[in-house]
Structure 1
């Protein structure tokens, strides 16, 4: 998997964008985060696992991953599977983590 943070987007007041690219047959880590995020598919095709549901996705699809939802992206095609992930920036993530530790 290839991951590249976009250098200037961390200057946005509330969000950050990251580009991920997964090679054919590959997948991302199975993850769960305290924050939500949006994913925009730019290249290839694959599947997304959200909780226990797996859905086929391809160019132009948009995926919403709720907070604390188990998720994973898999490349099911024969070309690289690329997507942009939009997440809260570092300042917002710090606030989310601080709120979670107070609960």
Structure 2
């Protein structure tokens, strides 16, 4: 059976499609985060997960720290972070950074490292 999940179930700001959803409740082995970072800077601090995370860059440019790498990712690119790899990102500007982050697990498991 397919499930349709309306924005009122996951979006903090429906006009920007910002928010998160644990999809395990609907039988999916994934979680979604829709990020909208309007200004330079911001973003999550260093953390890791026991599963892969996929970042789809929808708009803007971000600086991703993944293990000992620093990667500039721009709109249209996809970045895959392996399990148990410390990572964080920030908006480099000049405009907003928008990403869709896919966690390969039905619920969020995050170990904050800073």
Same fold flag (TM > 0.5):
yes
Where do 1:47-66 residues align within 5 Å?
47-66=63-82
Q: RMSD of the alignment, in Å?
A: 2.1
- Give the distance between the partners of 2:42 and 2:30, measured in 1 at CA: 27
TM-score, normalization by structure 2: 0.68
Query: Unpaired runs of 5+ in structure 2?
Result: 1-12, 110-114
How far has the Cα of 1:12 moved from its partner? 4.7
How far has the Cα of 1:85 moved from its partner? 0.6
* Paired residue total: 89
How far has the Cα of 1:89 moved from its partner? 1.1
> Which SS does the other structure have where 1:19 is aligned?
strand
Q: Which has the higher helix share?
A: 1
After the TM superposition, list the runs of 4 or more consecutive aligned residues in structure 1 that deviate by more than 6 angstroms. none
Q: Establish whether residue 89 from structure 1 lines up as the match of residue 110 from structure 2.
A: no
Q: Establish whether residue 41 from structure 1 lines up as the match of residue 62 from structure 2.
A: no
> Which SS does the other structure have where 1:84 is aligned?
strand
- Give the distance between the partners of 1:12 and 1:42, measured in 2 at CA: 26
Q: Among 16, 20, 24, which residue is 1:5 paired with?
A: 20
Partner of 1:101: none
- Give the distance between the partners of 1:62 and 1:12, measured in 2 at CA: 25
Partner of 2:33: 18
How far has the Cα of 1:49 moved from its partner? 0.6
